[in-house]
Amino acid sequence: MYIEKIQSPADLRVMDIATLKAVAKETREAVLNRVSKHGGHVGPNLGIVEATVALHFVFDTPKDKLVFDVSHQSYPHKVLTGRANGFLGDVNDMDAISGYSSPAESPVYDNFEVGHTSTSISLATGLQKARDIKGSDENIVVVIGDGSLSGGEAFEGLDEASELGTGIIIIVNDNEMSIAENHGGIYKNLRLLRETNGQAECNWFKSWGFEYKYLEDGNDVEKLVELFRSVKGTDKPTVLHIHTEKGHGYAPATENKEPWHFSMPFDMETGKSLVDFGSHESYEQLFSDWMLKEMKDDPTLIAVTAGTPMAAGFTQHKREQAGKQHVDVGIAEEQACAMISGMAKGGLRPVWTVYSTFIQRTYDQIAQDLCVNSNPAVINVAWGGVNSMNDITHICLFDIPMLTSIPNLLYLAPTSCEEYFAMLKWAVIQEQKPVALRIPSNGVIHTDSPVDTEYSYEPKFKVMSEGSQVAVIAAGSFFQKGENVVSLLKEKGVNATLINPRYLNAVDTELLESLKASHKVVVTLEDGCKDGGFGQRVADFYSVSDMKVLVCGIKKDLYDRYDTQKLLSDNRLQDDQIVADVLSIL
Amino acid sequence: MYIEKIQSPADLRVMDIATLKAVAKETREAVLNRVSKHGGHVGPNLGIVEATVALHFVFDTPKDKLVFDVSHQSYPHKVLTGRANGFLGDVNDMDAISGYSSPAESPVYDNFEVGHTSTSISLATGLQKARDIKGSDENIVVVIGDGSLSGGEAFEGLDEASELGTGIIIIVNDNEMSIAENHGGIYKNLRLLRETNGQAECNWFKSWGFEYKYLEDGNDVEKLVELFRSVKGTDKPTVLHIHTEKGHGYAPATENKEPWHFSMPFDMETGKSLVDFGSHESYEQLFSDWMLKEMKDDPTLIAVTAGTPMAAGFTQHKREQAGKQHVDVGIAEEQACAMISGMAKGGLRPVWTVYSTFIQRTYDQIAQDLCVNSNPAVINVAWGGVNSMNDITHICLFDIPMLTSIPNLLYLAPTSCEEYFAMLKWAVIQEQKPVALRIPSNGVIHTDSPVDTEYSYEPKFKVMSEGSQVAVIAAGSFFQKGENVVSLLKEKGVNATLINPRYLNAVDTELLESLKASHKVVVTLEDGCKDGGFGQRVADFYSVSDMKVLVCGIKKDLYDRYDTQKLLSDNRLQDDQIVADVLSIL
């Protein structure tokens, strides 16, 4: 086996093409070994194996700098840069190696921690400028997928790379796919370029000012080597457009590309999942079913997604059912946000579903395009909270501080399935304001309690059970934690009040004022970063009174692949810790 | 005079070309009347007069929808849509009309409140989709300047407009300028298109999938009418590239385009400013002078701007002096943020200067590209606070909540000129973390007090004068307010402690703990939105103690063209109000 012996890419550079091909085969097997046992990105990595081998063969890494976009296609790169252990061993060895480019893991070969899309060219222009200023001669090489090209930052990066006018090599890895199908006008041009073997006069890359070369056989090591050699050391901004196959070399992944973009552990022979998802309800499924049903009666109801239709449960089948009432804008969250504002202005009822970690891309669009205009569009924030993605680049803990700092945005936090759909229905029908909803991230929990069907624009917290001394204000997916805390306090002889705040964007001053009469301690629970969040507003409200406020949430920090229970314990968010802290104040 | 009698654009549609030309002449004079007396955007509005007359003549506004990008070129549109009073009268009549597109002002003719760049196409695609769903037949017409094309959201909008594939007319108003010169690879293509009268094969717009027409004489009403008529009712995504002259018809503005982008009141005959700027120092001048001086010794020091070089004091002359050590990326804040991260990674020392209102465009880039990577780049945040831009779209009150919710970012708030430069020098030299500096926005205030030259990564607040009972923590440009409050309290017999927190991103827990010994009340003062801001973190710290905390800042809300003193009073931020509130707690 070659790859076990490859200490660094330098070991590749003494090989001949036949050996490189063998290395590629082994690398593919190593990737498959990891993803089948550990889970991870399948399609993107299988498609880029040959290109990665050729890159490290031709370029003088680590002197030459590689920057991967999203970096969910960096597994073969990891195999070849001293991290094969994370791919060959058993599943316990794999945890040490992340699924993304990471200087913390490999300061020599990985230049950036990357997880969000469309950032690679912009980051690389910084390295390009640094090289030009320092007068050194390293190659700056970007690997970006066609799907990632649709993000605004990628466009801004192309614009600057061309402006700088010096050597940068941008490898556009065109597998004709984003996570799902591509959306955007540029994909018509990419198709034209593929169909003309790169010869079409109308060439999007050339019009930006790039030198351009096309390679149809993007999974052929030899041709890739030839291509890369032909531009190594270039002093011009250059695009290499390579046509690859997503999932290359693994039949299940090439036959059914969208679900094989990412997979939980699976049986390599059959491709069948090793994880029993059971028949649990999911908000993705419930939401998409509800939307499809409502769409039939209301042609103005539009489901919007930005490259991640599955965040909204819009499978390929459901997208077809929705037809023109589903819009995917590509990986272009800014576009999604401004477009829903325009849609609402034009009389439609759009609901944009976006993961908490990606809503960060639209602070200004939410503030300016949407909230200053007060257009009644709805944003569905998915997976916000501790029970979510836990890679450092995908942490979902910051949507509360972010969204609650934007004026004129309601941010509602339903605590159950019934409350979520009641809020959603109200948000869709009302015509005055943008409303964001934080979909519960602690599973689909049903309630028998009646839920309101009308919501005011001013925050109205709801008292769920009335007690005294202690009031627990438990928001959204931490509501059940609030129930537990109240129940444990009862065992200790404290009959606490339980409150569902429902609104995160502001406090219900009347209710908070009323608590002063018979409460000494208010506890706030929020499933996210507490710095700048909900509870601190409650603390501010009581700050000149005698009320004690225990603000419970996650401390602002960088977290990487955290263990949820440990994160909760470290932040004193386990039920018994909260109870102990309350009792110590009383 | 025609324009006094124009009640609506319908009145234009009965005119002949000669009369339209007379209307254009009067409109230009009206615009000049306003900007010379009231101040405002000069060049962008003068250049678009003829196109605006032709637009309203050809298209059936308000049924047909106009969307202006940035909308600092919407003055002629306002003149022709019932708001000529804001341009013809004396200066007191002008205040009622804003400098931007505003449905609050004209719900019929203005479709969006707009102030930030590059949003128009994305917003318009929402109207486009709404029309397509509803089956109506209005034209959707976008007016976007060449400068605004460099922003990521504009690219995402182009991508979607092309994808939708139905009628939208995007008028690219090419005056060969952004606020300053253009930066980005696309401008090479725009030049080629101008030089070939739109005939070049390599056409950036066509490569996106647009129908394309070029007009060299973009200030000729008759030709514009002909052009617009040729595409009215189109069912295809269409770009009309019109070449206009920025400042057209007013010699001072065409001769010196950059300073005439925006002007304070001036004498129409001579073009001389009517505002005496005196010889006041400014941070723009001091910063750029300092940078140029340091650059001579340090070739790795790079000044970065994103379309607003004057935010950093980089006049055309100073840009030339800096040479390759100044990078303007165009109006592309995401690019600026990612690029400084890459530059720092590559060994440069970049300092990016950006207005508070525009840093909102880079929440995710600061979080992901910069802070997750912990690259030691410096961000200079300009004009944050109440003494700043006050249009609803340009409010500078949100940078504290926004930046302090991002992990691994130091946000320093200097209180004087000396402290600013001490912090800047440290931030530039240190090699561990991204650092943002909030440039004081209350004028250049000097201090005789010694300032530290080294700063820790953990927050260390500084006690400026020690008292008891009350501690005033006065941040950044509200520090002098803190001094006043302490001084007024002394008159009332209270010897308060004055603290310069210096750090906004976290609290100095040791110092806050120590205050408990001899203080009953802590007052926090911050020059910005208090919801999610600095003071609420202090309130959180003390929330289970007996310390009373008075959190002073601006309430989160939408503000439009506010009066600063009234804003302060409404938020109980006048010195005497703060003192009264403190005494009421004691």
Whole-angstrom distance, CA of residue A167 vs CA of residue A367: 38
User: Could you say which of B372, B401, B536 has the minimum Cβ distance to residue A392?
Assistant: B372
| Residue B350 exposed, middle or buried by CB count within 10 Å (0-12, 13-18, 19+) | buried
**B346/A131 CB distance under 8 A:** yes
Name chain B contacts of A361, Cβ cutoff 8 Å. Answer: 363-364
Count Cα atoms within 13 angstroms, Cβ side, for B547.
30
Residue with tokens 């004009």: B383
Tell me what pLDDT residue B89 has. 82
Which phi and psi angles does B209 have, rounded to 5°?
105, 20
The residue of A397, A543, A546 whose CB has the most chain B CBs within 10 angstroms, and thus the best one to mutate to test that interface, is A543
Distance from the B487 Cα atom to the nearest Cα atom in chain A, whole angstroms: 22
Name chain A contacts of B404, Cβ cutoff 8 Å. Answer: 531-532
Task: Name the 3-class secondary structure at A252.
Answer: helix
| Residue A454 exposed, middle or buried by CB count within 10 Å (0-12, 13-18, 19+) | exposed
Whole-angstrom distance, CA of residue A524 vs CA of residue A474: 6
User: Could you say which of B327, B332, B405 has the minimum Cβ distance to residue A129?
Assistant: B327
Three-state DSSP string of B75-87:
HHHHHHCCCCHHH
Name chain A contacts of B367, Cβ cutoff 8 Å. Answer: 360, 398
**B112/A531 CB distance under 8 A:** no
Q: Are A76 and A49 in contact (CB under 8 A)?
A: yes
pTM reported for the whole predicted model: 0.98
DSSP E strands: which ranges in B244-332?
A: 262-263, 301-305, 326-328
CB contacts < 8 A, A to B, total: 409
Among B532, B491, B291, which residue's Cα sits nearest to residue B399? B532
One-character DSSP codes across A325-341: GEEE--S-HHHHHHHHH
**A368/B159 CB distance under 8 A:** no
Name chain B contacts of A369, Cβ cutoff 8 Å. Answer: 112, 119, 122-123
Question: Residue A339 corresponds to which amino acid?
Answer: M
Residue A278 has pLDDT above 80, yes or no: no
**B339/A369 CB distance under 8 A:** no
Whole-angstrom distance, CA of residue A151 vs CA of residue A362: 12
Whole-angstrom distance, CA of residue A403 vs CA of residue A408: 10
Name chain A contacts of B371, Cβ cutoff 8 Å. Answer: 558
pLDDT tens digit sequence for A94-140: 999 999 999 999 999 999 999 999 999 999 999 999 999 999 999 99
Name chain A contacts of B128, Cβ cutoff 8 Å. Answer: 342
Q: Are B512 and B538 in contact (CB under 8 A)?
A: yes
Tell me what pLDDT residue B280 has. 87
**Is residue B463 less than 8 Å (CB to CB) from chain A?**
no
Q: What is the mean pLDDT of residues A44-68?
A: 98
**A529/B405 CB distance under 8 A:** yes
Name chain A contacts of B532, Cβ cutoff 8 Å. Answer: 401, 404-405, 532-533, 536-537
Query: Does the N-terminal peptide bond of residue A252 adopt cis geometry, omega within 30 degrees of 0?
Result: no
**Is residue A572 less than 8 Å (CB to CB) from chain B?**
no
Tell me what pLDDT residue B173 has. 98
Tell me what pLDDT residue A92 has. 87
One-character DSSP codes across B362-431: GHHIIIIIIITTT---EEEEES-SSSS--STTT----HHHHHHTSTT-EEE---SHHHHHHHHHHHHH--
Name chain B contacts of A338, Cβ cutoff 8 Å. Answer: 119, 122-123, 125-126, 153, 157
One-character DSSP codes across A302-329: EEEESS-GGGGT--HHHHHHHGGGEEE-
Residue A263 has pLDDT above 90, yes or no: yes
**A127/B346 CB distance under 8 A:** yes
**Is residue B107 less than 8 Å (CB to CB) from chain A?**
no
Among B218, B148, B528, which residue's Cα sits nearest to residue A532? B528
Tell me what pLDDT residue A180 has. 86
- Number of alpha helices (DSSP H) and beta strands (DSSP E) in chain A: 24, 18
pLDDT along chain B (586 residues), means of 10: 93 97 98 96 97 98 98 98 92 92 97 98 98 98 97 98 98 93 94 97 97 98 98 98 97 95 95 86 97 98 97 97 98 98 98 98 98 98 97 97 98 98 98 98 96 98 98 98 98 98 98 98 98 98 98 98 98 98 97
**Starting at the edge strand that comes first in sequence, how are the strands of the sheet with B168-174 ordered?**
B65-68, B140-145, B168-174, B237-243, B211-215
Whole-angstrom distance, CA of residue B267 vs CA of residue B470: 52
Question: In the structure, what pLDDT confidence band is assigned to residue A430 with cuts at 50, 70 and 90?
Answer: very high
DSSP E strands: which ranges in A146-217?
A: 168-174, 211-215
DSSP E strands: which ranges in A69-200?
A: 140-145, 168-174
**B129/A346 CB distance under 8 A:** yes
Whole-angstrom distance, CA of residue A3 vs CA of residue B537: 51
The residue of A393, A521, A540, A555 whose CB has the most chain B CBs within 10 angstroms, and thus the best one to mutate to test that interface, is A540
In the stretch 339-378 of chain B, residues with CB closer than 8 A to chain A read 339-348, 350, 358, 360-361, 363-365, 367-369, 371-373
**Is residue A384 less than 8 Å (CB to CB) from chain B?**
no
Q: What is the mean pLDDT of residues A13-21?
A: 97
CB atoms within 10 A of CB A14: 8
In percent, the amount of chain A with pLDDT more than 70 equals: 100
Name chain A contacts of B535, Cβ cutoff 8 Å. Answer: 540
**B342/A127 CB distance under 8 A:** yes
User: B211 forms bridges with which residues in the sheet?
Assistant: B238
Tell me what pLDDT residue A139 has. 98
User: A239 forms bridges with which residues in the sheet?
Assistant: A170, A212
pLDDT tens digit sequence for B189-228: 999 999 999 999 999 999 999 999 999 999 999 999 999 9
Distance from the A239 Cα atom to the nearest Cα atom in chain B, whole angstroms: 13
Whole-angstrom distance, CA of residue A555 vs CA of residue B425: 30
Give the torsion through C-alpha atoms of A162, A168, A169, A173, to 10 deg: -60
Q: Are B111 and B127 in contact (CB under 8 A)?
A: yes
**B183/A163 CB distance under 8 A:** yes
CB atoms within 10 A of CB B292: 18
User: B525 forms bridges with which residues in the sheet?
Assistant: B474, B552
Which phi and psi angles does A549 have, rounded to 5°?
-125, 125
In the stretch 170-229 of chain B, residues with CB closer than 8 A to chain A read 183-189, 201-204, 206-210
The first and second tokens of residue B80, run together, are: 């022709």
The residue of A113, A354, A362, A364 whose CB has the most chain B CBs within 10 angstroms, and thus the best one to mutate to test that interface, is A364
Whole-angstrom distance, CA of residue B51 vs CA of residue B59: 12
Which phi and psi angles does B27 have, rounded to 5°?
-65, -40
Residue A279 has pLDDT above 80, yes or no: no
**Is residue A564 less than 8 Å (CB to CB) from chain B?**
no
**Is residue B393 less than 8 Å (CB to CB) from chain A?**
yes
Tell me what pLDDT residue A178 has. 86
Which phi and psi angles does B431 have, rounded to 5°?
-125, 20
Which phi and psi angles does B515 have, rounded to 5°?
-65, -25
The first and second tokens of residue B145, run together, are: 């300047």
**Is residue A327 less than 8 Å (CB to CB) from chain B?**
yes
Distance from the A568 Cα atom to the nearest Cα atom in chain B, whole angstroms: 18
Name the residue of chain B whose CA is nearest to A203's CA.
B207
Whole-angstrom distance, CA of residue A152 vs CA of residue B150: 10
DSSP E strands: which ranges in B257-325?
A: 262-263, 301-305
**B185/A159 CB distance under 8 A:** yes
**B398/A404 CB distance under 8 A:** no
Residue A499 has pLDDT above 90, yes or no: yes
Whole-angstrom distance, CA of residue B352 vs CA of residue B365: 13
The residues, any chain, with a CB within 8 Å of residue B440's CB and separated by 6 or more, are B283, B414, B415, B416, B417, B420, B476, B477
Tell me what pLDDT residue A280 has. 87
The residue of A114, A328, A405 whose CB has the most chain B CBs within 10 angstroms, and thus the best one to mutate to test that interface, is A405
Count Cα atoms within 13 angstroms, Cβ side, for A321.
15
Residue with tokens 């006069």: A201
**Predicted-complex ipTM score:** 0.98
Helix (H) or strand (E) holding A487: helix A479-491
Tell me what pLDDT residue B278 has. 77
Tell me what pLDDT residue B363 has. 98
The residues, any chain, with a CB within 8 Å of residue A242's CB and separated by 6 or more, are A51, A171, A172, A173, A174, A214, A215, A218, A224, A227
